Chains A and B, each alone.
Chain A
Amino acid sequence: MGTSTTSGPNPAREKQFVIGRFPGFATTSWVFLLYLYIPIFLLIIFSFNASHSATIWHGFSLEWYLKAFANDDVQRAAVNSLIVAFSATVVATVVAVFAALILARGGRFRGRGLSYGILMLPMTMPEIVTAVATLSFFTAIKLDIGLGRVVIAHTVFCIPFAFLPIRARLQGMDTTLEQAAQDLYANEWQTFRYVTLPLLMPGIISGAMLSFIISIDDFIITLMVAPAGSTTLPLYIYGMVRMGVTPEVNALSTVMLAISLVFVSTSYLIGRKKQAVTPKK
């Protein structure tokens, strides 16, 4: 959309001087979005390529998906990834719910800012620092529990990702329903169980889903702390990418992209339901 001042025959689409519109901004934005998505689309398209070459199009095929799924190493890595992501998500979400309740509803108290800072720490620290620190710690206390090391490390960095949507939900929540429940002689537990928790659910689901993909996708921390035999999908893909470009990697990457996409979209849609559930006064 340029800034030409010609008054065309269509007055509705006439581009006259619009306050706050700058030339080139629209082009930059659309070019930027193309830059963001073209590589991803090409990856997806070429994962369906019927040839051994990963980069020349020969026709549609599901061959590489079948190959990737049939691969024992891929299966093992996928199972590991799911175990880790599931355990880390459950623990992180549960502790995040309680932390969010206290921080969003608990009023002001000493150490509130510090608590918030510590909760956000895993998000602000460069991943490589967290990775080597965790590795040093596990080595120092001689913690040798295989995949459990990965689960612990993932739980730590999943907490802030679970916490933020839950807290956002709590902050935007109308308390009139809870007050009504208490007026009707619901005790504190009943109010929480039958009013607060259901209202909070979209935030909890949204936080859990974000934790899940953050865990499934993590690479740097897993690379450092995972002992031999605890390969996750990203580690497996890294090993293959270093060997070169193969159509199998394209297929596997596309599957992982699809998982992320489904989870983020669902989390986003659930988060948007907020307006429908709690009408604003």
Chain B
Amino acid sequence: MRLLQSTPMRRVLGLGPALGIIGFFMVVPIAIIVVFSFMKSNPYGGVNPEFSLEAYKQFLFERNLMDELVFNAAYLRIFGRSFLLALVTTALCLLIGFPTAYYMSRQPARRKNLMVFLVTIPFWTNLLIRAYCWILLLRDTGIINNYLIKWGIIDEPLTLLYTNFAIFLGLVYTHIPFMVLPIYARVEKLDFNLLEAAHDLYASRRQLMRHVILPLAAPGIIAGCLLVFVPCLGDFIIPNLLGGGKHLMIGSLIQLQFGGSRNWPFGSAAALILMSFVLIAMMIYVWGPGRKMKPEGGA
């Protein structure tokens, strides 16, 4: 007997509203920016409905006074910088996140649940507020500098805010739960007998890690890396607030096109390029090495 018989009619009625809302207000909008990206920009905002490849050309070339296309690496540099930033953040998150996830999984059940909860909470708090916490700490007249001066450890405030150090501190801070949780989900299911067997066969600690734990944790590590890398790539709040917005990131580049500098086609094209990176990352996840071990449906 099947509860709630699944008839085609019911499927349509049940899934319809949810899929309709997302389809109409998310899939259609994405289709619209695809169209926008092939149009000419209107300096007063929006687009002029004429076909043009200008937006995509603009990534690599600019027009000089004679209206000729000249190579311009400025936007490539923005993409490169965002990539580098996301890559370093991912590496740092893995470096801290893996030991933490593994250590958590080896704790007694009660403490394990508490630690998972503690790692999850920041995810549910406002991103701005988390960035603001660091501003409070790192500013020239912030908590760290004020107290270091008060206690006579330094005379001049250290420049902490608006540095690369602050950007990484903030990026790791806001993204690391996405690294810890998927890895934890994997290593938590790790069969302890395997470790014992390896140990009985004279595996050293290093060999245990390399040949038993890491291969089994790999799908979690891959998932974690993607979940950190992808949002990092489009992040602009942290680089703006903690980095002082000295360097443009993909995210801020997109945002600016729809705000002050108003080139919607170019902004749309940039958003689509960012989106295609995400799709590639997702394909790596779905069809990549972790496929067979991934539970059906995911998440």
Q: Which residues of B contact A268 (CB under 8 A)?
A: 117, 120
Q: Which residues of B contact A105 (CB under 8 A)?
A: 2-4, 6
A99, B103: Cβ atoms under 8 Å? no
Indicate whether A107 sits within 8 Å of B129 (C-beta atoms), given known contacts A22-B102, A39-B136, A133-B29.
no
Q: Which residues of B contact A188 (CB under 8 A)?
A: 3-5
Q: Which residues of A contact B218 (CB under 8 A)?
A: none
B84 to chain A, nearest CB (A): 17
B129, A257: Cβ atoms under 8 Å? yes
Q: Which residues of B contact A116 (CB under 8 A)?
A: 297
Nearest-CB residue, chain A, relative to B118: A33
Q: How far is the CA of A98 from the CA of B122 in the complex (A)?
A: 30
Q: Which residues of A contact B22 (CB under 8 A)?
A: 118-119, 121-122, 156, 159
> Among the listed B23, B32, B274, B297, which residue makes an inter-chain contact with A118, where contact means beta carbons less than 8 Å apart?
B23
- The answer to whether A35 has its CB under 8 Å from any CB of chain B is yes
The count of chain B contact residues (Cβ–Cβ below 8 Å) is 97
A199 to chain B, nearest CB (A): 11
Indicate whether A136 sits within 8 Å of B119 (C-beta atoms), given known contacts A128-B234, A253-B132.
no
Indicate whether A29 sits within 8 Å of B100 (C-beta atoms), given known contacts A106-B11, A136-B268.
yes
A256 to chain B, nearest CB (A): 6
Q: Which residues of A contact B69 (CB under 8 A)?
A: none
B15, A260: Cβ atoms under 8 Å? no
> Among the listed B23, B29, B99, B141, which residue makes an inter-chain contact with A136, where contact means beta carbons less than 8 Å apart?
B29
The count of chain A contact residues (Cβ–Cβ below 8 Å) is 97
Q: Which residues of B contact A109 (CB under 8 A)?
A: 6, 8, 11
Binds B, one of A7-15, A65-73, A217-225: A217-225
Q: Which residues of B contact A (CB under 8 A)?
A: 1-6, 8, 10-11, 13-15, 17-19, 21-23, 25-30, 32-33, 36, 45-46, 96-97, 99-100, 102-104, 106, 115, 117-122, 124-137, 139, 141-143, 146, 150, 173, 176, 192, 195-196, 199, 205, 208-209, 213, 230-231, 233-234, 236-237, 241, 251, 254-255, 257-258, 264, 267-268, 271-272, 274-275, 278, 282, 297, 299
